[in-house]
Chains A and B, each alone.
Chain A
Amino acid sequence: MTHYRFHILCCGGTGCKASNSAGIVRKFEAVLKEKNINDVQVITTGCFGFCEKGPIVKILPDNTFYVQVKEEDVENIVNEHIIKGRKVERLLYTDPKANAHIADSKHMGFYKKQMRVALRNCGFINPEDIREYIARDGYAALGKVLTEMTPEAAIEEMKKSGLRGRGGAGFPTGKKWELARTLVPNAEQKYVICNADEGDPGAFMDRSILEGDPHSIIEAMAICGYCIGATKGLVYIRAEYPLAIRRLQIAIDQAREYGLLGKDIMGTGFEFDIELRYGAGAFVCGEETALIHSMEGQRGEPTIKPPFPAVKGYNGMPSNVNNVETFANVPVIYLKGADWFSKIGTEKSKGTKVFALAGKINNVGLIEVPMGTTLREIIYEIGGGIKGGKKFKAVQTGGPSGGCLTEKHLDTPVDYESLAAAKSIMGSGGMIVMDEDNCMVSIAKFYLDFTVDESCGKCTPCRVGNKRMNEILDKIIKGNGTMEDLDTLKNLANVIKDTALCGLGQTAPNPVISTLDNFYDEYLAHVKDKKCPAGQCKDLLSYVINPEKCIGCTACARKCPVNAITGVVKQPQTIDQEKCIKCGTCIDTCKFGAISKQ
């Protein structure tokens, strides 16, 4: 057999694919062939997480980490690195603090604090090749559970591990499995359902796991099936994730071919198979009852619990719904043991959590940290701090159901309880960082726009209440808000929270509540002074020309799309506030810094 000297790993996640990683792979293969080098293997992997600087190419065994690689660079990498053993300096990641090239991914701040459990195979194996997964002890956990453990013992082990639902609510996974096993003992059929309906704006944890390590989900679902007594698994995945769907389907086909799905798995008599169900991308379908209705072909609307899915789920049969990331943790727990897993994290939140870092942060990407890591460590050490050296203002966790945390919360450890105590939530793992230029009233409105759009309309508090809140926020942003509006906003938020039917409605007011709590000053500034402190709300701004700085070059007047700027040449110009549409073109045009926002 061939001994490979080098493995060239190219990221094939959606982010890097969008910036032509597939072209890079083809080019590597072509160049290597042309130069007659046959002891180097090129592998397409899942997401490395460092999406900010994609496409990523990693060369092993020396762990060289090349960023923002282009097709033109490939020949250079082969000539220098592969043939001559010299690293291509210009493509190495530059540490912003030390301003030096870092060759080895182990020394990058981005990876140092991370601990990869759910993402263990992402960016490491070829997700389209079951052999690589098997070589990494894939399906060994399933083998161990099937041959050495009773379902009860396996559930006990899961309970001991302390794993909690990674979809956001944090319900103990072992407990959930136990309920699905015991509540209806003689069910004709039971179902294992994987919730891959990831919907938070800016979140892509589940997608990356499905794209980078689909077999871990298949294996975990089979284990769950054995534990609860189900022979059928369903993955509810949104049609907007075509690459994840394709890789998952390839993985399912390969698993069937290897006899790891189907009848009599590993000669134990256990039977399990998985099918995909596509969602149309409605946020509410992430709620488990709505998800089940959508899979049945009904409208994607939630129903009151109880009955819980563990009693009456898909097609009226007992069903167990877990999130993708929850499943991704399962095989490792059985391989390394519940004790190993429960040593990671905090007292009540065990293991790690994957976050999608986004917003005004230097290292946008996908990260995984042990529970209990502080927000400060995530934002400043892994995330590399705020873009452009600006001031940190807030971090939003939990998406449209979560809240904004401020400077004073930066040392909060990330775990279910601490985030709840700070009035936000863990959520599924979206983490959006904001700087001084973000207006918090607008942020609240952004999230509310989302939930108003996504509300299914079944219950009144959510359908009407959120719409009213949205209108009040709009009024405030336009400078027409009153003090009474702020009180109404608060009342409405609390009523909706208490009365809405499902999780979507109950948590929709959270962004408003948390911004009211933490940034009341900003609301007051909008309402009382008719000013937006962040300078983001157009209606509260005016652009003015400083007559002392203006030399009358009229460059701005010529660029102004609505001809709002007038004046005599070589004399200070003026802006007609009635005509001005606040597009900001004049500020960008002026070379003398004479125009400012007020």
Chain B
Amino acid sequence: MAVKSLADLKKMSSEFKNTVSLRENGDNVDSLIQIKVAMATCGIASGAKEVMDFYLEELDKQGIKAVVTQTGCMGYCYAEPTIEVKLPGKDPIVFGHVNVEKASEILEKYIKNGELVEGIIPVNYETVK
């Protein structure tokens, strides 16, 4: 594994990038797309794990810088799996009944182009910071 030139080093650096990118993204979370997947018992039971895996893989594949985290139950158990998407500088939006297909639609339309899609759950409470 010898570095024979600067080009080698650069190539290696980008190969290894994903080992630390999760940490780097965590460091400047506010300027990135944040996706929170509700992963309480109800969420997991209705397939939140597949949705989370989908985002982890797809965002990486498409080279979109985003932070995917899991959170606890958001309270919309009737609409699980639910995800919250926060684009930089915008208010967070919660989507319900998100299966992998829906997740893909949200990614293509909302995350990439800012177009709203069906299935938004109006936020009915405020979070204490």
Binding site for B on A (CB under 8 A): 1, 3-7, 9, 60-63, 83-86, 124-125, 131-132, 134-140, 143-144, 146-147, 257-260, 266-267
Contacts and interface: CB of A to CB of B under 8 A. Distances in A.
A137 B13 contact: yes
B5 A266 contact: yes
Contacts of A137: 13
Contacts of B39: 83-85
20 contacts: A3-B53, A4-B22, A7-B22, A60-B23, A61-B68, A62-B29, A63-B26, A63-B27, A124-B23, A125-B20, A131-B16, A132-B20, A134-B9, A135-B18, A135-B20, A135-B21, A140-B13, A258-B2, A258-B3, A266-B4
Nearest to A61: B26
A85 B70 contact: yes
Given A61-B29, A137-B13, A258-B1, A147 B6 contact: yes
Contact of B60 (A3, A83, A147, A258): A3
A257 B1 contact: yes
B24 to A, nearest CB: 8
A61 B68 CA distance: 8
Given A63-B29, A85-B71, A266-B6, A7 B60 contact: no
A86 B36 CA distance: 13
B19 A132 contact: yes
Interface residues of B, number: 38
A60 B70 contact: no
B85 interface: no
B107 interface: no
B83 interface: no
B25 interface: yes
B23 A140 contact: no
A130 B52 CA distance: 30
A132 B67 CA distance: 19
Interface string B27-56: 101000000001111000000000011001
A5 B23 contact: no
Contact of B67 (A61, A125, A258): A61
Given A63-B26, A135-B19, A266-B3, A3 B56 contact: yes
A125 B13 CA distance: 14
Given A61-B22, A61-B26, A84-B72, A267 B52 contact: no
Nearest to A260: B3
Interface in B57-92: 57, 60, 67-72
Contact of A131 (B19, B26, B53, B56): B19
A107 to B, nearest CB: 10
B105 interface: no
Contacts of B13: 134-135, 137-138, 140
B97 to A, nearest CB: 19
Contact of A61 (B25, B38, B41, B57): B25
A4 B22 CA distance: 8
B8 interface: yes
Nearest to A264: B4
Given A9-B23, A125-B20, A61 B6 contact: no
